A and B are shown apart, each in its own frame.
Chain A
Amino acid sequence: MSDRTTLVQIEDLTVKFPGNPAISHVNLTVERGEILGIVGESGSGKSVTALTLMGLLADDAQICSGQILFDGQVMAQAGRAQDKALYRRYQGARMSMIFQEPMTSLNPTGKVGAQVEEMLLLHTDLPKEERRRKVCERFAAVGLKSPEILYGCYPHQLSGGMRQRVMIAMATILHPDLLVADEPTTALDVTIQNQVIALLKEINEREKNAMIFITHDLNLARRICDRILVMQNGQVVESGRTEAIFEHPQEAYTKRLIAAVPKRKRGEEAVVTQQPPVVEVAHLNVFYPKQKTGFFKKNEKQLVVSDANFVIRQGETLGLVGESGCGKSSLSKAILGMNRDITGEVRHASVRPQMIFQDPYSSLNPAKTVEWLLTEPLRAAAARDDAWKMTADKRRELVCEMLRKIGMDESYLHRKPSQLSGGQRQRISIGQALITRPALVIADEPVSALDVTLQAQVMDLMKKLQREMGVAYLFISHDINVVYRMSDRIMVMKDGRIIEQGETKQIFEAPQEAYTKLLLAES
């Protein structure tokens, strides 16, 4: 049935959750030693496929057709109850998984060493000392320093990158035949992302295990995978060797996905005119209160942004790139006036800037309707400034106008955020920010939580609104490609300092700083 080289064979697999099918008639094979990429947007069924293979589906999910073979052994089959005991023998030992969220995938109350050791406890008879030694060895093998100390650490004491390394150590400690990595780097910074990808690739080459790499990021899939499987709406759209998929995509959907990847090519040239500035920042230092270190010592401050100098001009987009923790958000808070512990100068040309946040799921009040959410900034403005006082009818008119501008219509007025898709929610956030016609909008990673195609749509919308309304954007992102696509000028930030700024073209073609070159090389 299966030859020597085939490790996983999924045949005609259909999985249903109560009510709706999650994946239908999926076929795939994984050869020993290869990396198979499963690419698709969220909701395309890529995670469900992996979870079904791993035997981790929720109890209410049901396999309606097909079967899963692992190394010739039937693991799951339609119409048969899941053999939990069989799966428990295989899980961890022969097939293991790395999850997307390193922040939440480890037990917060368990020491990381013990959590990795649990694998050995479950699947081997090694004595305690031996187990501990192996765990430390494994920590070292995945590039974690001082494993002995790390063994006794709790997850919250580690950075995201370290936690993901711990997860990888855990998943590979028993040298499984199959490693399933579900968006393992999505939650990480670019540089960390690259280290983790390199590590996974290295493990694959060293141990010759098969890997399923699930991602929405085509660039990433291209770099690591031997073969790629494209999924959409629970079905396999296309599969083939990586180069073949990228160079000669057959299906329209695949072509669209590839086209949506932000490339370093700008459609339109930047309008370089000397518009008046909407905000001028001079010698800005931003501080954060630090935890008291001694009982009688005074509160100390930590300098998080030092000596920032820049202007944002009317109608332009200034991109701000840097890793998390570099001070991007602190800088934006200082400009917004949310952090007043600053020295230096922030001069606004007009009223307060508005803000678009990263997470469209949690930044909208779930109890309110779209209409309420969009009128809220108007009410707030009216409370500050009599010029914004208006009748309820007038408000509704403005809201409807804004809805049309953001590509929605009146029919959404009474919906709540839970009845909107992620893209629609982010449109509402944008509408909220723009409805009071601010001169400047600060967008903090506005597309990072979205799929590639949605990302492209939201960025296009933001540009369209900029042309129509003449608003300036401070566009913050860790993704240099996204920034490239949006910005007229770019600032690069590292450790609280703006290390480089200039025209987008100039930054990309002739970066001056080593760090900028690194960022460009890694994306």
Chain B
Amino acid sequence: MAYQSIRLFGKKIITLIMTLFLVSVAAFLAFQIIPGDVVTAILGTEATPEREEQLREELGLNDPPLVRYTHWIGGVLKGDFGRSYRYSKSMNEMMPVAELIGDKLPVTLWLAVLSVLLIIVVSIPLGVFWVRSKNRILDAVLNVLTQTTMAVPSFFLGILVTYFFGMVLKWFTPGGYVSYRDDFAGFLRYLIFPAISVALPKIAMTARFLRNSMLTEQSQDYVRTARSKGCSSRRIMYGHVLRNALMPVITFLGMIIAEIVAGSIVVEQVFGLPGVGRLLISSISNRDFPVVEILILYITAVVIIVYFWVDMLYRVINPQISKQ
């Protein structure tokens, strides 16, 4: 069993590396193909041809693509993510991509962690409560409420949250971002509201999903067996139905988590958070390719790694999978 798990783990790691490699090639190639000149983007249209040529040489843009790819990926493997074309560290030095992203990553990651926690802590009890409540009116209310919440785009939710919690209740200052370097607690407090905007639609989806899954499970034969043993409805719910009903929900949560960690771009924009989502958008429009390439690799890695852990968790709680 242990041997099998290790082998499986090894296989997954190999898959991860291969996928990252392919994505790195694709990301690199994409910027060879799309129109737009980096040099013009940096220098503007007014620069002299000599200056342009000099910069081209400096950035290594005159090398053949294969050389440039090897150079770039070699650097990435050694931990050198290249330098931004756009952001400068000082007058004569361009900002290293690693530093640039390293600065924004904690914001996005903490936003994701808070959102995911919110989703799990709220949606699962809500789903269970929903199934257990036999009240028709409550059922209808929850139905409409979750349906609506699911349908509202997160930027609009962001605006609503800003208005309600920020302007009406004054629980936080809109735009008054506190850096995690200065005041971590204040930073987290500020992040709660963006996290709510990210989490709300997902909470609605997950709760609905769990409810439906539980309703399906409730009509399974093993539930009848449990009743025939004299189990109370409470025991049937928590001892038998919930665990089975959670199986598909976990896969669903995995997808949601990957999506959130990869960047809640719009919400970062609305709340003025300096996260990687914002960085990605500005870098694409600035043709800051070194940054975009690294961000694409990062997002891919996150998605794959989250799926990997979801898969592992799934194997732990679903004995039927772990057999294969």
Residues in chain A within 8 A of chain B (CB atoms): 54, 56, 87-93, 96-97, 99, 101, 104-110, 118-119, 122-123, 154, 156-157, 167, 170, 291, 295
Chain A residue at minimal CB-CB distance from B221: A104
B residues in contact with A56, CB < 8 Å? 224, 227-228
- Closest 8 CB pairs between A and B? A91-B230, A104-B221, A154-B319, A92-B229, A92-B230, A107-B222, A88-B230, A97-B228
Is B189 interfacial (CB 8 A cutoff)? no
A residues in contact with B244, CB < 8 Å? 107-109
User: In the bound complex, do residue B319 and residue A109 qualify as a contact, i.e. CB atoms below 8 Å apart?
Assistant: yes
User: In the bound complex, do residue A99 and residue B230 qualify as a contact, i.e. CB atoms below 8 Å apart?
Assistant: no
User: In the bound complex, do residue B319 and residue A156 qualify as a contact, i.e. CB atoms below 8 Å apart?
Assistant: yes
List 10 interface pairs A-B (beta carbons < 8 Å), by A numbering.
Answer: A88-B232, A90-B230, A104-B222, A105-B221, A106-B222, A108-B320, A122-B230, A122-B235, A154-B319, A167-B225
Bound-state CA distance A68–B225 (Å) is 21
B residues in contact with A122, CB < 8 Å? 229-231, 235
User: In the bound complex, do residue A157 and residue B230 qualify as a contact, i.e. CB atoms below 8 Å apart?
Assistant: no
Cβ of A289 to closest chain B Cβ, rounded Å: 14
User: In the bound complex, do residue A96 and residue B319 qualify as a contact, i.e. CB atoms below 8 Å apart?
Assistant: no
* Contact status of A91 and B227, CB under 8 A, knowing A109-B243, A109-B318: yes
* Contact status of A105 and B230, CB under 8 A, knowing A154-B319, A156-B320, A156-B323: no
Bound-state CA distance A295–B11 (Å) is 9
A residues in contact with B13, CB < 8 Å? none
Bound-state CA distance A90–B222 (Å) is 19
B residues in contact with A110, CB < 8 Å? 240, 243
Bound-state CA distance A110–B317 (Å) is 10
A residues in contact with B247, CB < 8 Å? 109
Chain B residue at minimal CB-CB distance from A116: B229
A residues in contact with B240, CB < 8 Å? 107, 110
Cβ of A435 to closest chain B Cβ, rounded Å: 36
Cβ of B28 to closest chain A Cβ, rounded Å: 31
User: In the bound complex, do residue B229 and residue A91 qualify as a contact, i.e. CB atoms below 8 Å apart?
Assistant: yes
Residues in chain B within 8 A of chain A (CB atoms): 7, 10-11, 220-222, 224-232, 235, 239-240, 243-244, 247, 317-320, 323-324
Bound-state CA distance A90–B228 (Å) is 9
Q: Identify which of A96, A105, A106, A118 contacts B231 (C-beta below 8 A).
A: A118
* Contact status of A123 and B230, CB under 8 A, knowing A99-B221, A104-B220, A105-B224: yes
Chain A residue at minimal CB-CB distance from B232: A88
Contacts A107-B244, A108-B244 given; 12 further ones with Cβ under 8 A?
Answer: A54-B228, A88-B230, A96-B229, A99-B221, A104-B220, A104-B221, A104-B222, A107-B222, A107-B240, A108-B320, A110-B240, A170-B229
Cβ of A247 to closest chain B Cβ, rounded Å: 35
Bound-state CA distance A107–B231 (Å) is 13
A residues in contact with B11, CB < 8 Å? 295
Cβ of B27 to closest chain A Cβ, rounded Å: 30
A residues in contact with B232, CB < 8 Å? 88
Bound-state CA distance A156–B232 (Å) is 26
Bound-state CA distance A369–B318 (Å) is 38
User: In the bound complex, do residue B225 and residue A106 qualify as a contact, i.e. CB atoms below 8 Å apart?
Assistant: yes
Bound-state CA distance A123–B227 (Å) is 13
User: In the bound complex, do residue B7 and residue A295 qualify as a contact, i.e. CB atoms below 8 Å apart?
Assistant: yes
Cβ of B235 to closest chain A Cβ, rounded Å: 8
Bound-state CA distance A54–B230 (Å) is 10
Chain B residue at minimal CB-CB distance from A103: B221
Cβ of B59 to closest chain A Cβ, rounded Å: 43
